[in-house]
């Protein structure tokens, strides 16, 4: 059974462009995978604490030696990593916040980036352990940060996500960006703005059937 992990990180809900686009992706994916399963993870509805010294200590304590308190500290991390491991494909909605990823997404990344779980340092060489997966990052930005534009160097979203997930072993990643959402606050018709992005997202959801291009 193919499984899609659907992650949203925008706090805007009904007004969110990234959420509307990931929803369209999921709807199309379900239609082309009638036997598939979707796991939804709303990061704004998930209580994720910042990394602490105690959390790090628990991570580096051998599993069989962990106290009940340490196991509790890692329980959410274990759940989030299990979602990654069990899914064949990911669609992740990412609004740009201050040129980077939202804080809730960074908290999630800190929870799933764990030595021995999603990467290892076998023989001192880093090796990603999240392999054989496919990811679609649906990004919404207020301004235009496309390559060759004046503001391109301000885009830390795609380079960061590509590097981070590549480190974890995921190299089959697609980035679909809806740039210029700020125009929606200045009279731009929402349906007209979204139309080409919805078409692109829906087309991609079908063409990546079963985790294969």
Please report the pLDDT score of residue 2 as a whole number: 95
Is residue 115 one of the residues assigned to a domain? yes
Residue 155: left if φ>0, alpha if ψ -120 to 50, beta else—which one?
beta
pTM of the model: 0.93
Please report the pLDDT score of residue 206 as a whole number: 86
- The conformation of residue 104, written as its DSSP 8-state character, comes to H
d(CA 42, CA 33): 22
Provide the 10 A C-beta neighbour count for residue 21: 25
Q: Which domain holds residue 44?
A: 3-208
Averaged pLDDT in 10-residue chunks for the chain of 213 residues:
97 97 97 96 97 97 96 98 97 98 98 96 90 97 92 96 97 95 94 95 76 37
Please report the pLDDT score of residue 208 as a whole number: 55
Is residue 213 one of the residues assigned to a domain? no
Please report the pLDDT score of residue 71 as a whole number: 98
Is residue 167 one of the residues assigned to a domain? yes
Query: Closest by alpha carbon to 88, among 199, 1, 18, 23?
Result: 1
d(CA 3, CA 209): 11
Query: 45: domain CATH number?
Result: 3.40.50.360
The structural domain count of the chain equals 1
Is residue 53 one of the residues assigned to a domain? yes
Helix (H) or strand (E) holding 179: strand 173-179
């Amino acid at each position: 059974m193919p499984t899609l992990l659907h992650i949203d990180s925008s706090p805007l809900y009904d007004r969110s462009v990234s959420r509307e686009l990931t929803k369209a992706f999921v709807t199309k994916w379900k239609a082309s995978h009638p036997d598939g399963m979707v796991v939804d993870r709303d990061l704004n509805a998930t209580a994720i604490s910042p990394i602490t010294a105690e959390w790090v200590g628990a991570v580096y304590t051998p599993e069989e030696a962990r106290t009940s308190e340490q196991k509790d500290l890692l329980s959410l991390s274990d759940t989030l990593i299990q979602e990654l491991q069990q899914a064949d494909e990911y669609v992740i909605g990412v609004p740009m916040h201050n040129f980077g990823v939202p804080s809730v997404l960074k908290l999630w990344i800190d929870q799933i980036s764990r030595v021995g779980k999603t990467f290892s340092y076998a023989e001192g060489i880093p090796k990603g352990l999240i392999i054989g997966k496919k990811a679609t990052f649906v990004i919404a930005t207020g301004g235009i940060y496309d390559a060759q534009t004046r503001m391109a160097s301000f885009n830390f979203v795609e380079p960061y996500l590509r590097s981070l997930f590549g480190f974890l072993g995921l190299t089959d990643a697609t980035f679909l960006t809806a740039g210029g959402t700020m125009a929606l606050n200045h009279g731009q018709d929402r349906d007209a703005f979204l139309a080409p992005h919805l078409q692109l997202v829906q087309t991609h959801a079908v063409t990546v059937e079963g985790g294969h291009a």
